[in-house]
């Protein structure tokens, strides 16, 4: 027990800092992924074939290649073209673009679940297509896809550990540096696992609160 | 002489190979109530939906108040998106399956369009919506979500939602067809009271009695054209064979249904 307390005093603040980094990475990544995902989902319904094709390629490429390779392309590959990003920025961008493809698929599924009469009745009142999408369709889609989107947020959070490979000092890399110094992988990986677990549990609770909130509404 | 509120000339619409409207023309004066009847597939719903361009015709001309459209795709007078919106804010439409927005309360359903599209201040929009909801007898349901309402109540709210835009014209597309028989009456009563107040209405309907008693004119659609048109009296004394056959079939169905209902009652009694 004394061991735990001493260790906690020694490494606790560092872990807290790393956990905060994970949290920040996750939030920013979710913002980027929603921007990419919504854009791609709407682009897939475009009247222009070329726009649909770009969205289709994006989703096909992201879902068909390893996330790690996508991270490497952005962090190690882009500098060849003069685009140098900090590890943190590259990480957010790579994970956001990655998760965006999955969000796009989720949103697409949600959109098909809304009966066409919903937008028809809005158009018939004089709403434009974009207003109809924004005020009538997407609010309904969001409720339907909430569980799937929660899953996606959780895997985004877990995927931040991949960013240890491009020197983002998040939980995984922080633990690795400690392990290199102490040769105690078991304790430190367990500690990291527990912190991830706490973070994902908070996310899950938040989502189920939202779900209950919406269920009450309708 | 005042010009007609709405005039349509030579409206044509095809879905693929299937020509649904084969050049339909119609002029409607303000205050008229025009019932459109016909078998399913006769083009009557497509025609109604082309009036507010939910279905854009392939060709034909349309005048509505200050708007003039030529639906030929290459035409200079092909409606712009803004013109279509302007048309639709003034021509309310009610659908067979209500299409209320389930994520909004009854009140929110009614005020959404006036606030967003007519830029009416929220407070005023709520006052007007409350007055409309009182009128249709659903004021106490204003905070409920549509899923808590019966079909007849939902349809009345859908009518109120359209009326909140203060339309010049109302289009009703088989609005009682999805309702349980005992709920049809409350919707028809509301429509009849609108008609008596001078609202210009076009309605596609299977309610022959309603068409006969409420409308000023009846159109009978058959195979993409208006096969017979005239005062509601044509429902008693049809001229064309096709209308005679249509009315006969409908009447026959009603008799069959009535006698079936009667025999089940008798079965229960004995």
Higher-pLDDT residue of B252, A24: A24
pLDDT in tens, A127-137: 999 999 999 99
pLDDT score of B100 more than 90: yes
> Can you give the pLDDT at residue B219?
96
> Can you give the pLDDT at residue B120?
96
Asked whether the beta carbons of residue A135 and residue B161 sit closer than 8 angstroms, the reply is no
Asked whether the beta carbons of residue A140 and residue B102 sit closer than 8 angstroms, the reply is yes
Q: Which of B100, B103, B112, B145 to mutate to test the interface with A (most CBs of A within 10 A)?
A: B103
Q: pTM to 2 decimals? A: 0.85
pLDDT score of B164 more than 70: yes
Cβ atoms of B241 and B222 closer than 8 Å = no
What CA–CA distance (Å, rounded) separates A184 from A186?
6
Task: Identify the closest residue of chain A to B115 by CA–CA distance.
Answer: A127
Asked whether the beta carbons of residue A139 and residue B103 sit closer than 8 angstroms, the reply is yes
pLDDT in tens, A54-111: 999 999 999 999 999 999 999 999 999 999 999 999 999 999 999 999 999 999 999 9
Backbone torsion region of residue A184, taken as left when φ is above 0, otherwise alpha when ψ lies between -120 and 50, otherwise beta: beta
Query: What's the average model confidence in pLDDT over B157-177?
Result: 96
Instruction: Please state whether beta strands B217-222 and B225-230 pair in parallel, antiparallel, or not at all (unpaired).
Output: antiparallel
Secondary structure class of A181 (helix, strand, coil) = helix
Nearest CA to CA, how far is A118 from chain B (Å)? 6
What CA–CA distance (Å, rounded) separates A193 from B81?
55
B78: contact with A, CB 8 A cutoff: no
Query: What's the average model confidence in pLDDT over B96-114?
Result: 96
> Can you give the pLDDT at residue A212?
86
Task: Identify the closest residue of chain A to B163 by CA–CA distance.
Answer: A125
Q: How confident is the model at residue A6 (pLDDT cuts 50, 70, 90)?
A: confident
> Can you give the pLDDT at residue A5?
67
Asked whether the beta carbons of residue A127 and residue B92 sit closer than 8 angstroms, the reply is no
What CA–CA distance (Å, rounded) separates B108 from B133?
12
What CA–CA distance (Å, rounded) separates A25 from A75?
15
Task: Identify the closest residue of chain B to A136 by CA–CA distance.
Answer: B101
- Point out the residue among A121, A127, A218 whose CB comes nearest to the CB of B103: A218
- Residue A126: its chain B contacts at CB < 8 A? 85-89, 113, 117, 165
- Point out the residue among B97, B112, B145 whose CB comes nearest to the CB of A218: B145
Task: Identify the closest residue of chain A to B84 by CA–CA distance.
Answer: A126
Query: What's the average model confidence in pLDDT over A37-52?
Result: 94
Task: Identify the closest residue of chain A to B95 by CA–CA distance.
Answer: A121
Where do runs of H (alpha helix) occur along chain A?
2-43, 49-64, 67-72, 87-112, 116-125, 129-132, 138-159, 171-182, 185-217
> Can you give the pLDDT at residue A9?
77
Contact residues for B62 (Cβ-Cβ < 8 A; gap 6+) = B6, B7, B8, B9, B11, B51, B68, B69, B71
Which is nearest to A11 in space by CA: A161, A157, A187, A144? A187
Nearest CA to CA, how far is A46 from chain B (Å)? 16
What CA–CA distance (Å, rounded) separates B79 from B66?
12
> Can you give the pLDDT at residue A218?
58
What CA–CA distance (Å, rounded) separates A35 from A41?
10
- Residue B88: its chain A contacts at CB < 8 A? 123-126
> Can you give the pLDDT at residue A92?
97
> Can you give the pLDDT at residue B71?
95
What CA–CA distance (Å, rounded) separates B59 from B71?
5
Asked whether the beta carbons of residue A126 and residue B85 sit closer than 8 angstroms, the reply is yes
Q: Which of B56, B84, B94, B101 to mutate to test the interface with A (most CBs of A within 10 A)?
A: B101
B149: contact with A, CB 8 A cutoff: no
Average pLDDT over chain B, rounded to an integer: 92
ipTM of the complex as predicted: 0.90
pLDDT in tens, B203-256: 999 999 999 999 999 999 999 999 999 999 999 999 999 999 999 888 777 766
Query: What's the average model confidence in pLDDT over B11-40?
Result: 94
- Residue B112: its chain A contacts at CB < 8 A? 135
Q: How confident is the model at residue B261 (pLDDT cuts 50, 70, 90)?
A: low
B116: contact with A, CB 8 A cutoff: yes
């Amino acid at each position: 027990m004394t061991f735990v307390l001493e260790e906690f005093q020694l490494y606790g603040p560092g872990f807290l800092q790393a956990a905060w980094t994970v949290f920040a990475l996750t939030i920013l990544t979710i913002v980027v992924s929603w921007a990419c995902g919504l854009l791609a989902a709407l682009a897939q319904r475009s009247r222009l074939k070329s726009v649909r094709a770009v969205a289709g390629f994006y989703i096909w490429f992201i879902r068909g290649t390893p996330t790690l390779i996508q991270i490497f392309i952005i962090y190690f590959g882009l500098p060849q073209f003069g685009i140098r990003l900090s590890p943190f920025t590259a990480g957010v961008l790579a994970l956001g673009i990655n998760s965006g493809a999955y969000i796009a698929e989720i949103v697409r599924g949600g959109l098909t679940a809304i009966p066409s009469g919903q937008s028809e009745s809005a158009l018939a009142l004089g709403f434009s297509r974009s207003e109809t999408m924004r005020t009538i369709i997407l609010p309904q889609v969001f409720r339907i896809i909430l569980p799937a989107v929660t899953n996606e947020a959780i895997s985004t959070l877990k995927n931040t550990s991949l960013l240890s490979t491009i020197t983002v000092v998040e939980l995984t890399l922080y633990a690795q540096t400690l392990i290199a110094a102490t040769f105690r992988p078991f304790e430190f990986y367990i500690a990291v696992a527990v912190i991830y677990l706490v973070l994902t549990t908070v996310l899950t609770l938040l989502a189920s609160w939202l779900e209950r909130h919406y269920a009450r509404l309708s | 002489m005042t010009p007609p509120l709405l005039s349509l000339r030579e409206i044509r619409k095809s879905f693929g190979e299937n020509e649904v409207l084969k050049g339909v023309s119609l002029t409607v004066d303000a205050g008229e109530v025009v019932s459109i009847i016909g078998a399913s597939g006769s083009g009557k719903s497509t025609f109604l939906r082309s009036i507010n361009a939910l279905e854009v015709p392939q060709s034909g001309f349309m005048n509505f108040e200050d708007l003039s459209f030529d639906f030929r795709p290459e035409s200079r007078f092909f409606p712009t998106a803004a013109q279509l919106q302007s048309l639709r804010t003034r021509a309310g439409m009610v659908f067979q399956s209500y299409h209320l927005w389930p994520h909004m309360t009854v009140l929110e359903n009614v005020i959404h369009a006036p606030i967003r599209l007519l830029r009416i201040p929220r407070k005023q929009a709520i006052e007007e919506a409350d007055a409309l909801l009182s009128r249709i007898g659903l004021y106490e349901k204003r905070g409920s979500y549509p899923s808590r309402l019966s079909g007849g109540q939902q349809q009345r709210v859908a009518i109120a939602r359209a009326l909140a835009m203060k339309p010049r014209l109302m289009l009703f597309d088989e609005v009682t067809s999805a309702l349980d028989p005992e709920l049809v009456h409350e919707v028809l009563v509301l429509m009849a009271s609108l008609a008596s107040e001078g609202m210009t209405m076009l309605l596609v309907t299977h309610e022959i009695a309603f068409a006969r008693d409420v409308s000023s004119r009846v159109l009978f659609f058959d195979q993409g054209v208006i096969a017979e048109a005239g005062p509601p009296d044509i429902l008693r004394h049809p001229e064309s064979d096709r209308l005679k056959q249509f009315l006969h079939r409908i009447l026959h169905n009603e008799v069959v249904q009535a006698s079936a209902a009667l025999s089940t009652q008798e079965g229960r009694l004995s």
